Amino acid sequence: MPVKAATPASPADRAEKSLYLNRELSLLEFQRRVLEEAQDERNPLLERVKFLSILSSNLDEFFMVRVAGIMQQIENDVHERGRDGRTPAAVLEAIRTEVSAISADAYEFFHRTLIPALEKAGIHIADYAVLAEEQALQLEAFFLDKVYPVLTPLAFDPGRPFPHISNLSLNLAVVVRDSAGAEHFARVKVPDTLPQLLPVPIGVEDGHATGRQMFVWLEQLIVANLPHLFPGIEIIRAHAFHVTRDAEVAIKELETDDLLETIEEAVWQRRFRDAVRLQVDAAMPEAMVETLASNLELDAASIYRVNGPLDLGRLRHLLNLDRPELKDKPFLPWTPPGMGAKEDDIFSMIRQEDQLLHHPFDSFQPVIDFLRKAARDPDVLAIKMTLYRLGRNSPVVDALLEAVENGKQVAVLVELKARFDEESNIEWARALESQGVHVVYGLLGLKVHSKVALVVRREGELIRRYCHLATGNYNAFTARLYTDLGLFTCDESICADATDLFNHLTGYSRQRDFRKLLVAPINLRQSLAAHIRREIDLHREHGGGHLIFKTNALEDAPMIELLYEASQAGVKVDLIVRGICCLRPGMPGLSDNIKVRSIVGRFLEHSRIYYFRHNGADTMYIGSADLMPRNLDRRVEVLTPVERPHLVQRLRNEVLAAYLRDEFNARIMQADGTYTPKNRQSGFDAQAWFIAQRGAR
């Protein structure tokens, strides 16, 4: 039966409260959920260390990109209010308040909970001052042999300018007094090429027999041995500080003759961009802080005093410890029958039916094997791929190079503008090009974020195409850590669309129509909007309307307005949004029928799924696009339909249903943008269930 629509909110009600949440503050809410994972005692101890390290790294990136952008707006006298009603200055003030609160909670957890828990497990992060004399002497010998040769003290005086402080570097501000009684300032960079947590030698009776391990922070070792760096000079004081710089690369693409050289130059210039945050040791005297702040051109509001070791991201070094009992239990990803052995014919399997993989629960190896077998198969004529984040020692690149050696035509689009992976991608692009691969560096004005591989194969008198379309990058390392989906198909329409897409990327094609693929910025926005409107119309006629969207971020205002419209029409809307969500759920008369949940757990939720019930004619898409303006309008993104009934059923009744049942990792979003606390009791864990399901096969 048709369902009666909810009563729309009145204009007065809407004016009372903004319909949109602030993007930056929503992202900080996600960082709180990451901190919750560190605080959750149900997680193994070193996994809790990992989440605290991730939080620190995430906040670094937040300042480098988000805060830097807001500060640029303020410098350019931008006072316009955003959709949430805040000016850039008001947003920055709210960010600083929230970041200070998150940081305080993180360090309180570090000192009060994590350090005692590590000590109980036999992992002791010691203060250098409490070491025994023999331990200090052994560490001093290590300092002189391994650390001292790397250090370069830089003085700051009328004859020597204030040294450049590189982005994310950990440093020591040192005040010394010469023989005449004059005080001087110097900077010593803590080298990031050395271990940040140094093992402390301990006796057999204290350590090796019991498995006890002790570490000290590298900067404490340097401070203790500063007299070696400043012989004959009195060390007055030394305190650590950490600088974060604007890392948003501004590339004037339309004015460049060589995109590769332009991006190389922009990446090089990134290290000299403005500072946006200064973190200092809480005990640093105000005079030293002022010296740093004035030379870095930062105001007082950009200075954060930290009660503990700076840059908790360095805790990741503990993850290398051989303590499997303190980590998540490893599991063996499942490989579908017929896709694992070397003699298997993956092309035959794809011809029989589409294949869907759910990583990391399903192995990523079939994707690599697909490319390797294409490289070695004498009937394969060409391979085309989009590459966004490859990682190091890439087996994907190895397969492409082997294909070139075997005489295949190989064309690859390497997106040089992948943020913070620019240098790595430049290296890969040059390596591929030097071996004869046709390399395209990206499109002017657009970032290519789609994940598509196309293999062209001669089969008798026919030329058949095979496609792999995915939600995640062709990165074998992150495929073990991120949840993603990949579809193998030889559907003629999808493969023809993929061919048109590559012609668009590598040539001068201006394709405006696609058969089945939704491609941004060409038809993706319009097609998603049409599907939502169709769901609304079908619900009004038949009832039972249901939308389920799983995405990393929901920010786009027109999409949010359509979802509000669907809710007002009575359509049930379930949103699984990992990070940013600017929509307000559960607002009377506006979003009563919308529920938003965020899943943060062992694996980073990265897959995007868009489901429309369409009165029982279930329609499902997977792909690379989030619901953000940049994805819909300023990137090349691809959503592919999943059409085989058994795969649609698997995604709807297994994958999406599990996420909607999750009680272990899910937080439910409230109308004010906050989330319910993580359920500390036992409950259904979707990610653990996926592992168990694969293990039972």
Rounded distance between C-alpha atoms, residue 692 and residue 330, angstroms: 12
Beta-carbon contacts of 681 under 8 Å, excluding residues fewer than 6 positions away, are none
- Average of per-residue pLDDT across 451-461: 96
Three-state DSSP at 482 gives strand
- Domain at 389, CATH number: 3.30.870.10
Q: Which residues pair with 483 in a beta bridge?
A: 605
Q: Which residues pair with 81 in a beta bridge?
A: none
C-beta separation of 223 from 283 below 8 A: no
pLDDT at 440: 85
- Average of per-residue pLDDT across 8-12: 42
Residues 592 and 555 in one domain: yes
Confidence of residue 429 (pLDDT cuts 50, 70, 90): confident
pLDDT at 267: 57
12: pLDDT strictly greater than 50: no
Distances, alpha carbon 519 to alpha carbons 610, 623, 637, 647, 673, in Å: 14, 10, 6, 22, 31
> Among residues 513, 536, 560, which one ends one of the domains?
513
Rounded distance between C-alpha atoms, residue 622 and residue 611, angstroms: 9
Residues 352 and 316 in one domain: no
263: pLDDT strictly greater than 80: no
In which domain, by residue range, is 683 found?
519-695
C-beta separation of 498 from 411 below 8 A: no
Residues 310 and 388 in one domain: no
> Among residues 295, 326, 357, which one ends one of the domains?
326
Confidence of residue 180 (pLDDT cuts 50, 70, 90): confident
| Residue 440 within any structural domain of the chain | yes
pLDDT at 439: 84
pLDDT at 203: 65
403: pLDDT strictly greater than 90: yes
Q: DSSP letter at 633?
A: H
250: pLDDT strictly greater than 70: no
Q: What is the pLDDT of residues 154-172, one digit of tens each?
A: 988 766 788 889 899 999 9
153: pLDDT strictly greater than 70: yes
Residues 455 and 547 in one domain: no
pLDDT at 273: 79
| Residue 143 within any structural domain of the chain | yes
Q: Write out the E strands in 157-266.
A: 170-177, 183-189, 197-199, 213-217, 234-245
| Residue 357 within any structural domain of the chain | yes
pLDDT at 521: 94
Taking every pair of Cα atoms in the chain, the longest distance, rounded to a whole number of angstroms, is 92
194-208, 227-241, 317-331, 507-521: least confidently modelled range = 194-208
Beta-carbon contacts of 397 under 8 Å, excluding residues fewer than 6 positions away, are 390, 428, 431, 432
Residues 277 and 217 in one domain: yes
From 597, 593, 623, 628, select the one nearest 611 (Cα to Cα): 623
449 is catalytic: yes
pLDDT at 409: 95
Residues 538 and 433 in one domain: no
23-37, 64-78, 427-441: least confidently modelled range = 427-441
The model scores a pTM over 0.85: yes
| Residue 662 within any structural domain of the chain | yes
- Domain at 309, CATH number: 3.30.1840.10
pLDDT at 327: 97
Distances, alpha carbon 169 to alpha carbons 243, 267, 270, 292, in Å: 6, 17, 14, 14
Residues 69 and 216 in one domain: yes
> Among residues 471, 493, 513, which one ends one of the domains?
513
Q: Which of 449, 539, 546, 614 is catalytic?
A: 449
> How many domains are contained in the chain?
3
Residues 272 and 141 in one domain: yes
What value does the CA radius of gyration of the chain take, rounded to a whole number of Å?
Answer: 27
pLDDT at 603: 97
Q: What is the pLDDT of residues 537-580, one digit of tens each?
A: 999 999 999 999 999 999 999 999 999 999 999 999 999 999 99
C-beta separation of 381 from 409 below 8 A: yes
pLDDT at 257: 47
Instruction: Determine what percent of the chain falls in helix, strand and coil, rounding each to the nearest 5.
Output: 40, 25, 35
74: pLDDT strictly greater than 70: yes
- Average of per-residue pLDDT across 385-414: 90
- Average of per-residue pLDDT across 240-262: 65
> Roughly what angle, to the nearest 10 degrees, separates helices 422-434 and 259-270?
150
Q: What is the pLDDT of residues 586-611, one digit of tens each?
A: 999 999 999 999 999 999 999 999 99
| Residue 14 within any structural domain of the chain | no
| Residue 309 within any structural domain of the chain | yes
Q: What is the pLDDT of residues 644-696, one digit of tens each?
A: 999 999 999 999 999 999 999 999 999 999 999 887 777 899 999 999 987 65
pLDDT at 14: 43
Q: What is the pLDDT of residues 302-322, one digit of tens each?
A: 999 999 999 999 999 999 999
| Residue 322 within any structural domain of the chain | yes
Confidence of residue 251 (pLDDT cuts 50, 70, 90): very low
Residues 448 and 524 in one domain: no
First vs last Cα of the chain: how many Å apart? 40
Residues 171 and 292 in one domain: yes
> Hey, what's the torsion of the CAs at 147, 150, 155, 156, to 10 degrees?
-110
Residues 357 and 503 in one domain: yes
6: pLDDT strictly greater than 60: no
Confidence of residue 265 (pLDDT cuts 50, 70, 90): low
424: pLDDT strictly greater than 80: no
| Residue 340 within any structural domain of the chain | no
Q: What is the pLDDT of residues 340-391, one digit of tens each?
A: 666 568 999 999 999 999 999 999 999 999 999 999 999 999 999 998 887 7
Residues 177 and 31 in one domain: yes
